[in-house]
Chains A and B, each alone.
Chain A
Amino acid sequence: MSSLSTPGRWEKFFWPLLAAALLLALWHYSVLWTRTQIFPSPRSVEKGLAELLRNHVLWNDIRDSLRRVAIGFGTAAAIGIPLGLSLGWYPAANQVLNPVLQILRPISPIAWIPIAIVLFGIGDHAAIFLVFLGAFFPIVVACVGGVSNVPSIFRRAGRNFGLSPAQLLARVVFPAALPQILIGLRIALGIAWLVVVAAEMIAVDSGLGYLVIDSRNSGKRYDLVVAAMLLIGLIGLALDIGFRRLEKIRSVRWGFGHAS
Chain B
Amino acid sequence: MTPPVRDVKLRMEHVGMVFERDGTSVSVLEDINLEVFDGEFICLVGPSGCGKSTLLNVMGGFLPPTTGSLTIDGALVHGPDPRRILVFQEHGVFPWLTVEGNIGFGLSKLAGAERDQRIAHYIQMVRLQGFEKTYPSDLSGGMKQRLQVARALAVNPDILYLDEPFGALDSITRLIMRGELLRIWQSERRTIIFVTHDVDEAVQLADRVVVLSSRPAKIQDVFTIDIPHPRNISSAQYLAHRDNLLKKIGLAYTA
Q: What residues of chain A have their CB less than 8 Å away from a CB belonging to chain B? A: 151, 153-154, 156-157, 159-162, 171-172, 175-176, 178, 250-255, 260
The listed residue (A153, A159, A161) touching B91 by CB distance below 8 A is: A153
The listed residue (A153, A156, A160, A254) touching B96 by CB distance below 8 A is: A254
28 A-B residue pairings within 8 Å (CB atoms)? A153-B88, A153-B91, A154-B94, A156-B62, A156-B80, A156-B86, A156-B88, A159-B62, A160-B62, A160-B81, A160-B85, A161-B82, A161-B105, A161-B155, A162-B80, A162-B81, A162-B82, A162-B106, A171-B105, A172-B94, A175-B97, A176-B94, A250-B135, A251-B135, A252-B96, A254-B95, A254-B96, A260-B137
Q: B46: CB under 8 A from chain A?
A: no
Instruction: Name the A residues within 8 Å of B81 (CB-CB).
Output: 160, 162
Complex contact A160–B82 (CB within 8 A): yes
Shortest CB distance A164–B (Å): 11
Which residues of chain B from 124 to 154 have any CB-CB distance to chain A below 8 Å in the complex?
135-138
Interface of A: prevailing SS: helix
Which residues of chain B from 38 to 94 have any CB-CB distance to chain A below 8 Å in the complex?
60, 62, 79-82, 85-86, 88, 91-92, 94
Shortest CB distance A114–B (Å): 44
The 7 closest A-B pairs by CB, nearest first: A254-B95, A161-B106, A175-B96, A162-B82, A251-B96, A160-B80, A254-B137
Instruction: Name the A residues within 8 Å of B155 (CB-CB).
Output: 161
Instruction: Name the A residues within 8 Å of B97 (CB-CB).
Output: 175, 251
Complex contact B88–A175 (CB within 8 A): no
CA distance A176 to B138 in the complex (A): 17
Instruction: Name the A residues within 8 Å of B96 (CB-CB).
Output: 175-176, 178, 251-252, 254
CA distance A251 to B101 in the complex (A): 11
Complex contact B135–A254 (CB within 8 A): yes
The listed residue (A153, A159, A171) touching B80 by CB distance below 8 A is: A159
The listed residue (A160, A175, A253) touching B94 by CB distance below 8 A is: A175
| Given A156-B62, A159-B80, A151:B91 Cβ within 8 A | yes
| Given A160-B80, A160-B85, A175-B94, A253:B137 Cβ within 8 A | yes
Instruction: Name the B residues within 8 Å of A252 (CB-CB).
Output: 96
Instruction: Name the A residues within 8 Å of B91 (CB-CB).
Output: 151, 153
CA distance A255 to B82 in the complex (A): 28
Shortest CB distance B202–A (Å): 24
B81, B85, B94 — most chain A CB neighbours (10 Å):
B94
CA distance A175 to B135 in the complex (A): 14
Instruction: Name the B residues within 8 Å of A159 (CB-CB).
Output: 62, 79-80
